[in-house]
Chain A
Amino acid sequence: MDISIVLIVIVVILALFLITTFNRLVTLRQRVKEAWSDIDIQLKRRHDLIPNLVETVKGYATHESTVFQNVTEARAAAVAAGASATPQQRAQAENVLTGALRSVFAVAENYPQLQAIQEFKDLSENLTATEDKISFARRFYNGNVRDYNTALQTFPTNLFASAFGFGPEEYFELADATEREAPQVKF
């Protein structure tokens, strides 16, 4: 009789533990998804700005067709990656696009009249702002991925997480050398 009570208590405790852990993982994974949609919005915004930029620069720099072709192709690849690819594949496509964009701006440097028109100024300002936002969205996303993955790999959650269908999420890593180092915070 005593043993059955002990058994019931153990089973109840175990069930409670599983339920809370499961719910916590669901919450953490949901945060990762929400953070990802922030990145997605900003990447799409960048894709939308590029055709206008290409048209504007084209009007002045008529002899640089390879540069324009590169950026158009890179953009198409990035848009395609946006539809289906994993974060890592998307980051790769975006890195190629960033490189192609840099060469467009390098070309633009040679045309002072182009630099002077308002439309070009607005476009490059918008692109810079969007890239800023991408880098902040990326940080927020990676922070959430880290929290989720840590929870997933910590004992004893790691014993049954995969049985419930939880797998680790990928980081979104851009080639961005200008990122500032995180300051050390102590309390």
Chain B
Amino acid sequence: MTDAPSPARLSIYDAAAANRVRTVVLIVAFVLIVVVLAYAIGEYFGNGSGAAIVPFAFLVSIASAAASYFAGDKLVLAQSQARELGAGEEKELRNVVETLAIGLGIPAPKLYVIEDSAPNAFATGRDPAHASVVVTRGLLDKLDRTETEGVIAHELSHVGNRDIRVMLLVTVLVGTVALIADMAWRGMFWGGSRGRGRDRGGGGAIIGVIAIALLILSPIIAQLIQLAVSRQREYLADASGALLTRYPAGLAGALRKIAADKEPLEVANKATASLYIANPLKDAPAFFDHLFDTHPPIEERIRRLEAMG
């Protein structure tokens, strides 16, 4: 008996190759956005000193991209108050993780737990050799073995596909752009109007308008980048997770339990929300829920999983 060739064997190698390209695009886009943003801020607030800022902005953006690449996972883990599990702790979970990791041909990632009763999980790291899987106490308590397997298989698919690197970079870099734009936006109202309009000709006014437009648009652009890469990624991880466990009902059951749980996860925030298997911020207003939602609707994910059965 050989494994029957499934119609879509989702090769982790293909997904990984696509994500390597995405990583490069993402970093280039980030550096560009920061440099343009810095130029706009310089032109607007510094009386045309935008060009002087550019090299500085370039170095800072490269450095922060490198920092988030190499240490972003530690930042996210610390912010989520995750604690690494010792070798003897949660043996069943460790066994599930080790077994499924073998099925994907990746090393078993480090395991972390968040002591919170809301069931949820995420994976992070820059590659499979430096990956961590985080589960909440609520997930361990509320899910049975097949459901846990479903969740872990989903997370390990993110690891194997190198999604974790893209997700991590998006999280940290989008957060940085949003922060800069936010500061500039505040500065514009509080005392940034020095010299505006009076000592500039028509060209200056146009640059000013462009600068304002950029300041407003850049967080939206950053958010759109995030959206573009994340919805399809969740469906893909659901599907490859189901192929790994060969039991789509396990993950479907887990998603149902996670959706039914109304408790928000205290340690999650807007920046880290997109890392989780299901949106941990339960109280988001309906409008933002759909505009900025990084996760496909959970009912749709369950429906797709059940259709695989």
Contacts and interface: CB of A to CB of B under 8 A. Distances in A.
B202 to A, nearest CB: 52
A107 B240 CA distance: 40
Contact of B99 (A132, A144, A183): A132
B9 to A, nearest CB: 6
B55 interface: no
A142 B2 contact: yes
Contacts of B308: 183-186
B243 A38 contact: no
A173 to B, nearest CB: 6
Nearest to B1: A173
Contacts of A42: 102
Interface residues of A, number: 29
A73 interface: no
Contact of B95 (A34, A38, A129, A182): A129
Contacts of A140: 102-105
A171 B2 CA distance: 7
B10 interface: yes
Contacts of B239: 185, 187
A184 B7 contact: yes
B8 A38 contact: no
A42 B246 CA distance: 21
Contacts of B246: 179-183
Nearest to B239: A185
B35 to A, nearest CB: 36
A35 B101 CA distance: 12
Nearest to A174: B1
Contacts of B8: 185-187
B25 to A, nearest CB: 22
Contact of A137 (B5, B102, B245): B102
A129 to B, nearest CB: 5
A182 B99 contact: no
B242 A143 contact: no
A139 interface: yes
A139 B6 contact: no
B11 interface: yes
A44 to B, nearest CB: 14
A102 B7 CA distance: 35
Interface in B1-57: 1-11, 13
Contacts of A169: none
A38 B10 CA distance: 20
A47 interface: no
Interface in B198-242: 235, 239, 242
Interface string A12-35: 000000000000000000010011
Interface in A49-63: none
B98 interface: yes
A57 B307 CA distance: 46
A147 B11 contact: yes
A132 B102 CA distance: 10
B77 interface: no
Contacts of B118: none
B191 interface: no
A105 interface: no
The 6 closest A-B pairs by CB, nearest first: A136-B103, A180-B246, A183-B308, A182-B6, A136-B102, A140-B105
Given A142-B2, A180-B246, A182-B6, 10 more contacts: A171-B2, A180-B245, A180-B247, A181-B4, A182-B243, A183-B242, A183-B309, A184-B7, A185-B6, A185-B7
Interface of A: 31, 34-35, 38, 42, 129, 132-133, 136-137, 139-140, 142-144, 146-147, 171, 173, 176, 179-187
Interface of B: 1-11, 13, 95, 98-100, 102-105, 235, 239, 242-243, 245-248, 307-309
12 contacts: A129-B99, A132-B95, A133-B102, A139-B103, A140-B104, A176-B1, A179-B1, A180-B245, A183-B243, A183-B309, A186-B8, A187-B8
